[in-house]
Chains A and B, each alone.
Chain A
Amino acid sequence: MSNILELQHVSKKFDNDLVLDDLCLEVKENTFMTLLGPSGCGKTTTLRIIGGFTTPDQGCVLFEGKDITNLPPNKRQLNTVFQKYALFPHMTVGENIAFGLKISGKSDEYIRDKIKYALKLVNMDDYANRDVTMLSGGQQQRIAIARAIVNEPKVLLLDEPLGALDLKLRQDMQYELIRLKNELGITFIYVTHDQEEALTMSDTVVVMNQGYIQQMGTPENIYNEPENAFVATFIGDSNILGGIMLRDKLVRILGTDFPCVDTGFGVNKPVDVVIRPEDVILGEAGKGQMDGVVSHLIFKGVHYEMEVQAGGFEWLVQSTSMFPVGQPVSLSVDPFNIQIMNKPESEDEEAVVVDV
């Protein structure tokens, strides 16, 4: 697969505020790529640079190998689904969908067929003559998608398109988007701050923070092997602890030695350790690797979420079995579930804890 889109050393400043710093990104043809990060991380700016609404201060944008950095949006072979849908309120559903086609001078018959096809694709067959302001949020979203895809773009940009929908609708739409992507066979670049959305839909997830790409990979890769503390905190819940890599496959955490599977960090090297809450196994006191006391307990539906005081650290633990508050317990972790990361080397890579 070749690169359909490339960003090369792109930087952008707004009022002395560096939003993107030397960003490089390659997008393979026919992938579902998600830019994930907290607000202000530069993901939307990246999307706007690809769409042509913002010009980078430095660097260039290549589309199918050609430089399109200074091409206006109306000349680019991509279309965008905007965060707030941006449907034209004084036009009907049909007129909205036909807008792009009319500009490119398609015949009336072609336009009529396309409207029908697009509406069918988003499951809104009989809505062509409706007023867009009369539609629900989910319906408007589908129309916005239909309006973008009738122009047969090679890349579809989606800017937090599900942000304004309620949870149930959002989940439905996630499946719809995956189905659409497979039916159309085009590249999707999707921007969101919702890690669950990113993990559910994407082929590739790009985690961004403070204008940098923190990590790029498949959803499984990002979740299971976060490269730094930021990624670990941002994707799912985690216990992040300082540790010392005593030697290959052995790490000391809070004074206790834990066997692990990581190698190549050197000897007696300080590292960050990530342990997912669902990977901490609770047992009878004295029978695990470490002992502690349960300090909080919340029922979450699928599982219980507990906080356990052990070794001077408050461990977040998720388990299907319940241990009441005040009960002494033991903690143990499977070596495969211990993720070792290098300490951040520069300030820019410093993990930033963000409430999302």
Chain B
Amino acid sequence: MKNFLKRFYLIIILLFLYLPIVTLIVLSFNDTKTMGVWKGFTLKWYQDMFSNPQILNAFCNTLFIALLAAVVSTVVGTVACVGIMALSKRQKNAVLQATNIPLLNADIVTAVALLLAFGMFGISLSLGTVVFAHITFCLPYVILNVLPKLRQTGTIHFEAAQDLGATPLYAFMHIVLPDIMPGVFSGFLLAFTMSLDDFIITYFTRGAGINTISTLVYSQVKVGIRPTIFALSTVIFVLVLIVLLLSNFLPEKMEKAREKAEKEGRELTPEQRKKRRTAKRIGAGIVAAAVVAVCVLASPYVGAMAGKGEVIYFYNYGDYIDPDLISAFEAETGISVVMDTFDTNESMYPIIEGGQVSYDLIVAGDYTIEKMIENKLIQPINYDNIPNAANLEPAYMEILASTDPGNQYMIPYTWGTVGILYNKTMIPEGRITSWKDLWDPELAEHGILMMDSLRDTFMVAELILGYDMNTSDPEELQKVVDLLIEQQPLVQAYENDSARDDIITESAGLGMIYSGEYLYCLDENENLDYVIPEEGTNVWFDCFVIPTNAKNKEGAEKFINFMLDAEAGLATFNYLTYPIPNAATMELIDEEIREDENVFPSQETLDRCDRFHYLGKEADQVLASYWKRFRGN
């Protein structure tokens, strides 16, 4: 019984530790984009991963940064340890305190401090600043690993070697280093892994177009994580596992052979001796491989630094463009596109406002762009360079002109509406017509999903109450909050990214969703339908804009022109499933979809709709305070 309990306990612990990783690995072979269901085995996500230049680039970046940071910090840290050992006790303590503080310091503080320091000394952010930052935070870990080992070894072997005629350098390399090698090696591995999974510091210190795996994954939050990321994570997990096994298993095996020989009180056989040599050689091999890998991974950067031609720096939502289009543009024009990604408008805005990183082209949401126009962060676009602008649907351009008179600044990339997605097997077709249906207790039993997004969620209640969706009147907002609180018992969940999965897997019957998600969901579950309620909705646009500090405006305009091509629009539509405001593209889309009023609403429907506007700082704060009242309830 006792044994059973012991084993049971162990199994529970192992489950806790490994179930999430097993889930990840299994899902990376799942033949569907939805997380909840198994639809058969596939390797296509791995294929996708290896053919997606952005992922490969982030993967190479991550490895390059981690290897370089680990190698440099190991060398510098080990040398520092030798110096620390030579200090008097009081000095030694002082230095150790100084090196340990960054270790305990919050990452965010280190990150912001580094960002400020780079800015202060006029160093523009780049791959170099990321590597530098990583070396900085890896150093204490190396010192922490090497110093105890060095202390344990003491100076006696070092002195003995010198006594026998060795120069200090020879003595260090041949006597001290082999002694402290386990510490140096574990310091290297720790630095490597710390660098590998760092997000915050990388995020703050990277230059335009530099993505590591963690920043790439994070920037994809807006559109939801694709299974290619599961595949990538699986590959990384397996890689780390191999490194760990190698580093644990090899020395242990050597130690065992030695212990055995010791017990039996006999010499190592020539065979064991050979094995030990082989193990040593494998160790040396790993180090050599690391160095070679750094060199190989570095070569593209060296090439890039040598200046191989025209470049545009493009700032976009994560996974918000078909990577094949970028390759096609590069092949056609010879201009290379360095794309950097963000997750929300709110996280992108301060970076542009700060001006430390200069981009040539940005994709952003319309009401954020209003704010950028007001603050003069973007410049007018030269339509002479964009003949394909003629393809744009004039009706949409007219809508945009209400905030951007003369369409000077923004060229729409995608657009859409917010509506209600529901399952026809649970709710009869035509039953849903109004936003009020989300307050219907009868429908609540199928599961109602609401967005967890200030403007969108407030909009629903505002439209029901007959208010303007851009209101910031406190009295009206109080009524909006009251109405939303009244709805709370009926709502299954407030969520953004997982809403589509919940509806696909039929764990919820209806919910608020962006129109672009509708086609995506229809692919996975054909029983779904989308409705724009009779009260109307928000029509949103994501647009191309060119920042004031762009260095290659002409290149950016060439890229916009390329994207407005009919075929390119179709590729974008197929990749994102979001409507494209491109009249030429519309003609290429399947008639069945083109006629789908849900995806491409009629002028009549559009007339019922409105758009979010930038309301100014004060109004933003009022809204935020009411949002807090609602979410805090």
Contact = CB atoms under 8 A, between A and B. Distances in A.
B433 interface: no
Given A73-B159, A86-B156, A86-B159, A100 B178 contact: no
Contact of A80 (B157, B163, B265, B268): B163
Given A73-B163, A80-B163, A129 B267 contact: yes
A88 interface: yes
A48 B156 CA distance: 12
A90 to B, nearest CB: 5
B162 A100 contact: no
A211 to B, nearest CB: 21
A100 B166 CA distance: 7
A79 B162 CA distance: 10
Q: Is the interface of B mostly helix, strand, loop or mixed?
A: helix
A167 interface: no
Best-buried of B162, B166, B168, B261 by chain A (most CB within 10 Å): B162
A86 B165 contact: no
A104 interface: yes
A130 B267 contact: yes
Contact of A131 (B88, B156, B157, B261): B261
Contacts of A131: 258, 261-262, 267-268
Contact of B162 (A15, A72, A104, A134): A72
Contacts of A104: 165
A74 B163 contact: yes
Contacts of B175: 88
A1 B164 CA distance: 27
Nearest to A14: B88
A100 B167 CA distance: 11
B160 interface: yes
B165 A103 contact: yes
B273 to A, nearest CB: 8
Interface size for chain B: under 10, 10 to 19, 20 to 34, or 35 or more residues?
Answer: 20 to 34
Contact of A74 (B162, B262, B265, B268): B162
A80 B161 CA distance: 10
Interface string A32-47: 0000000000000000
B171 to A, nearest CB: 8
A335 interface: no
Nearest to A84: B156
A51 B160 CA distance: 10
Given A74-B166, A130-B267, A99 B261 contact: no
B261 A134 contact: yes
B170 interface: yes
A185 interface: no
Contact of B160 (A82, A103, A129): A82
B179 interface: yes
B163 A51 contact: yes
A151 B163 CA distance: 10
Interface in B555-610: none
Contacts of B160: 80, 82, 86-88
Interface string A115-149: 00000000000000111011000000000000110
A311 interface: no
B184 to A, nearest CB: 14
Contacts of B268: 129, 131
Contacts of A73: 159, 162-163
Given A86-B157, A90-B178, A103 B170 contact: yes
A89 B166 CA distance: 17
A99 B164 CA distance: 7
Interface string A94-112: 0000011001100000000
A83 to B, nearest CB: 8
B198 to A, nearest CB: 34
A87 B164 CA distance: 11
A175 interface: no
A53 interface: yes
Contacts of A134: 261-262, 265
Given A103-B170, A134-B262, A151 B164 contact: yes
Nearest to A88: B175
Contacts of A133: 258, 262
B553 to A, nearest CB: 62
A201 B162 CA distance: 28
Q: Which 8 A-B pairs have the closest CB atoms?
A: A100-B164, A86-B160, A73-B162, A103-B165, A86-B156, A90-B178, A80-B163, A74-B162
19 contacts: A53-B163, A73-B163, A74-B165, A74-B166, A74-B168, A79-B164, A86-B157, A86-B160, A87-B160, A90-B178, A99-B164, A100-B164, A103-B170, A104-B165, A129-B267, A129-B268, A134-B261, A148-B164, A151-B164
Interface of A: 15, 51-53, 72-74, 79-80, 82, 84, 86-90, 99-100, 103-104, 129-131, 133-134, 147-148, 151
